[in-house]
Amino acid sequence: VSGFFFSIRRFSFRPEPDPYCQAKYTFCPTGSPIPVMKGDDIIEVFRLQAPVWEFKYGNLLGHLKIMHDAIGFRSTLTGKNFTMEWYELFQLGNCTFPHLRPAMNAPFWCNQGAACFFEGIDDIHWKENGTLVLVATISGNTFNEMAKWVKRDNETGIYYETWTVQASPERGAETWFESYDCSKFVLRTYKKLAELGAEFKKIETNYTRIFLYSGEPTYLGNETSVFGPTGNKTLALAIRKFYYPFKPHSSTKEFLFSILQIFDAVIVHREFYLFYNFEYWLLPMKFPFIKITYEEIPLPNRNKTHSGL
């Protein structure tokens, strides 16, 4: 094993989304700027978790432990509550699969994700089938430092990545590609707060992760080298064929049907074409192929030394 490991590439700015990319549900409809808190304010920090698509299916995906994560804040000076989360601009299907557009040779991706901040915490939403629990208390100054970091993080980490790709389900197995999703944002924010001196309570915190299992990935090239005028036509066709069943603008029923078709491609042909950091990779898939886990990732310990980004 060569021991390479990929995490999401950072960018210098966030590009304007292409008008072709349309959201079924508006991204961050009531979003507002992060307020500046009074330095001596005491801010309570809450862990928020609820089943994905709960607004449509109630607790259905909660039974499968497919959960969405967010962070809540409450100012003790003003009594105001706030919610902060990170999610897909154009829903999950668009971040996981591309569009095959007739006039374009290369698959077309609508895979941006971003942070959303708004006033209020929908207590019922988080409590009913999920979690709303106090994890830390911070000062207004710490909150303001975190807010600056969120802005930087949001401008530089702009693409959503659904999959974590590992060599096997065993503990300590090689990780080839790291996901970049709502839970990763929450974990990064907790880590930043710990760096800024926040003390977290000792409670168990679990997160949903979607794994693909594969042998060492093979690098195939970027959009131009695969699909461009001097590209590899056979490979281009194979990638398009792989993605054909997955219609990103699909209903959830169709999305779940697509997942079944993936299983066929992945289990019968043992192949998965992954698009990561604008590059294509071939994953030689291994048993158990795909797995959704709900595993504990502990809250961070307070850092003795405060560091930057």
List the catalytic residues. Answer: 68, 182
Count CB neighbours of 303 within 10 A: 15
Q: Are strands 206-214 and 163-166 parallel, antiparallel or unpaired?
A: parallel
Do residues 113 and 158 make contact, with C-beta atoms less than 8 angstroms apart?
Answer: yes
Residues with Cβ within 8 Å of 256's Cβ and at least 6 positions away in sequence, in order, are none
Nearest C-alpha neighbor of 246 from the set 237, 236, 256: 256
Joined tokens for residue 218: 């093979």
What is the length of the chain? 309
User: Taking the mean position of all CA atoms in its chain, how far away is CA 196?
Assistant: 24
Count CB neighbours of 80 within 10 A: 14
Do residues 291 and 173 make contact, with C-beta atoms less than 8 angstroms apart?
Answer: no
Any idea which residue has 């080298």 for tokens? Answer: 225
Joined tokens for residue 193: 């707060």
Question: What secondary structure letter does DSSP report for 196?
Answer: T
Do residues 182 and 239 make contact, with C-beta atoms less than 8 angstroms apart?
Answer: no
What DSSP element (H or E) covers 208?
A: strand 206-214
CA dihedral 255, 261, 267, 272 (to 10 degrees): -70
